[in-house]
Structure 1
Amino acid sequence: MQAISVRQPWAWAIARGHKTLYNQSLPTGYRGPLLVHASMRVDLKAGDSALMHSAGWDPADPLATLGAVIAVAELDDVCAASAGGAVHGEDDRHCSCGAWAEPGAYHWRLTNVRTLHRPIVSLGRPGLWQPPPTLVADVDAMLGTAELNR
């Protein structure tokens, strides 16, 4: 089990299923369950973006919180095409990851996103990080599954 801290409103967009990838400056070999942590930092320009407007960004949504785990997703794949590494038959200038993909970034493809019934307050970290066992247990208990303990 790993985790990522994502600035709002991007974390909200992932949790609500609008944004199916996470833009990152580095690749990862990790595949599997991933806690989506809403960071304490906010991307102030993102709330005004056309993508956020079309997604229905709502700062009053409980998943728009800061400093908490709000969802669990599966990290299924990483597209490196726009970051300079051709993969899956894509060239090194363009990929088909969609409107949420940032040029020049690795696109971590997220699937099977499950939102938590309520955010779980926790500290996050930059990049991919290992959540403490107590946090994993709290998320596991909330989702009522044992699958997170891989």
Structure 2
Amino acid sequence: MSATTDHWVRFDPAGCAHSSAYVAEVPLAEDAYRRAVPKIADRRREAAAGWTLKRLTKEQWREQAKPCFTGDCAHQVVEPPREVRALTVRQPYAWALLHGKQVENRTWPVPAALVDSTVLLHAGREPHRQGLHDPRVLGLEGLPAREDLVTGAVLAVGRLTGSHLETGGCCAPWGDREVFHWTFADWRPLKDPVPATGTLGLWRPNADLLRLIEEADRVRA
């Protein structure tokens, strides 16, 4: 091998190359990975998902990596694993999101990096007092009694599809005026909600909670 012509190449689990750097410019593997993936949390997620960094000779680079960069490889494209966030919503609105509530109202938009990412729906510990008397919620079929609403736990796994600023009374009756409407898809309610302490807004679940959610999702209702 030659430090002059060798490359560090980052491969996804399917064997497709996603980034490359000359060993002469970045001698250490960890520095090459850090250049390609600056955030340590992202590097950890890639490592857990099976992404690798390999040192290739010039000839190996031409055979194994170049076709991926020119779009001529036969690999199935694997997107880098995206960060999972949890969204805390107070009851009964958390329940309503799984039973007909179309949007969640927020004063800020969904961060661009989280559009179309996995989201955990977490029910806050304290109920929303006005929400308990909201006629829109009371009109939903199957609403549990106040004491039966699950609180302080993750209820479901879904997809955070994006957000838009309210215009012309869109998303009625659930969309409030002059705020951002957050949208979701593919909710998968957990058979047994997973107890967790959250915070209002989007937050990062730790590895232990993600493991419990993954186990619970396998036996979802």
Give aligned pairs, total: 132
Please give the alpha-carbon distance, in whole angstroms, between the structure 2 residues aligned to 1:61 and 1:118: 17
Deviation (angstroms), 1:20 = 2.5
Counterpart in the other structure of 2:163 = 78
Change (3 A) 1:71 1:61: farther
Matches of residues 36-75 of structure 1 in structure 2 within 5 Å? 36-56=121-141, 57-59=143-145, 64-75=149-160
Counterpart in the other structure of 1:23 = 105
RMSD, aligned α-carbons = 1.8
Counterpart in the other structure of 1:122 = 196
Deviation (angstroms), 1:37 = 0.3
Q: Deviations over 1:31-78 (max 9, x none)?
A: 21110000012111212222112113212686x211100111211121
Counterpart in the other structure of 1:13 = 96
Counterpart in the other structure of 1:87 = none
Give the greater-gyration-radius structure (CA).
Answer: 2
Please give the alpha-carbon distance, in whole angstroms, between the structure 1 residues aligned to 2:200 and 2:130: 20
CA contact (8 A) 2:153 2:193 kept: yes
CA contact (8 A) 1:67 1:124 kept: yes
Please give the alpha-carbon distance, in whole angstroms, between the structure 1 residues aligned to 2:146 and 2:128: 16
Please give the alpha-carbon distance, in whole angstroms, between the structure 1 residues aligned to 2:130 and 2:146: 17
TM-score, normalising length from structure 1?
Answer: 0.80
TM-score, normalising length from structure 2?
Answer: 0.56
Structure 1 stretches of at least 4 aligned residues deviating more than 6 Å after TM superposition: none
Please give the alpha-carbon distance, in whole angstroms, between the structure 1 residues aligned to 2:218 and 2:208: 15
CA contact (8 A) 2:132 2:146 kept: no
Unpaired runs of 5+ residues, structure 1, are 83-92, 146-150
Deviation (angstroms), 1:95 = 4.9
SS of aligned partner of 1:8: coil
Bigger fraction of residues in strand: 1
Which fold has the larger relative contact order, with Cα–Cα distance below 8 Å and residues 6 or more apart in sequence?
1
SS of aligned partner of 1:104: coil
Please give the alpha-carbon distance, in whole angstroms, between the structure 1 residues aligned to 2:208 and 2:145: 28
